[in-house]
Amino acid sequence: MKSKLSYLLLLFFVIAPSTLSAQTFAHGRSSSYVWSRDETVLRKLDQWQDLKFGMIIHYGLYSELGIVESWSICSEEED
């Protein structure tokens, strides 16, 4: 039991400093969206928006592959 406790404490003291130092490298949160100034990025963004493509992927713990739960276009009961 003592070796298990000492192992957990050692693990904690090795991991804890690395997680605390990782938070210092995060950038601040902007109050509004910051547009890119790179011309290539802006050109590609304009081309992408002209394609009129949109997709929403909604996936959660309740999801089961191959089973339509609700809001389906075609009912599973219809023949």
pLDDT at residue 37 is higher than 70: yes
All residues at 6 or more sequence positions from 1 whose CB lies less than 8 Å from its CB, including other chains? none
Question: What is d(CA 11, CA 19) in angstroms, rounded to the nearest whole number?
Answer: 12
Q: How confident is the model at residue 33 (pLDDT cuts 50, 70, 90)?
A: confident
CA 49 to chain centre: 22
Determine if the pTM surpasses 0.85: no
All residues at 6 or more sequence positions from 3 whose CB lies less than 8 Å from its CB, including other chains? none
**Which H or E run includes 6?**
helix 2-22
Task: Output the pLDDT for position 5.
Answer: 86
Higher pLDDT, 65 or 72: 65
